[in-house]
Amino acid sequence: MNVKEFNFKDDADFKKLSGQKSTVSLVLTVLELVFYFGFIGLIAFNKPFLSSMLTERITIGIPIAVGVIVMSWILTGIYVYWANNTYDELVKKVRDKVEG
């Protein structure tokens, strides 16, 4: 069977693959946007809070900014872990069906 003959829209594994990828991508994207725009919102609307001193030389805005960057790395790591352990297996399953 070749790709032209394979009916992707009726295949359960392809539907699962497509649905999971959309769900994971959407959830991680929304989380990233919440962290990022939450931080930008703090900058725009609550500068006194961000300029509060934690120590003699560090404001509270610095660890929050670092936290946004670290959360981006963590979310990327979650996606990579999911892709390597779930997504790649589903792609292989669908590819094997297509290739016969």
User: 6 pLDDT exceeds 80?
Assistant: no
Are residues 100 and 8 in contact, defined by beta-carbon separation less than 8 angstroms?
no
CA 86 to CA 91: how far, in whole Å?
Answer: 9
pLDDT at 1: 54
Domain extent, residue 46, equals 30-99
Q: What value does the mean pLDDT of the chain take?
A: 90
What's the structural domain count of the chain? Answer: 1
C-alpha angle 84-24-89 in degrees, rounded to nearest 5? 30
Quote the pLDDT of residue 94. Answer: 83
- Does any domain span residue 56? yes
Answer whether residue 8 is part of any domain: no
pLDDT, tens only, 50-88: 999 999 999 999 999 999 999 999 999 999 999 999 898
pLDDT tier at 11, thresholds 50, 70, 90: confident
Residue 98: predicted pLDDT:
78
Per the domain annotation, does 9 fall within a domain? Answer: no
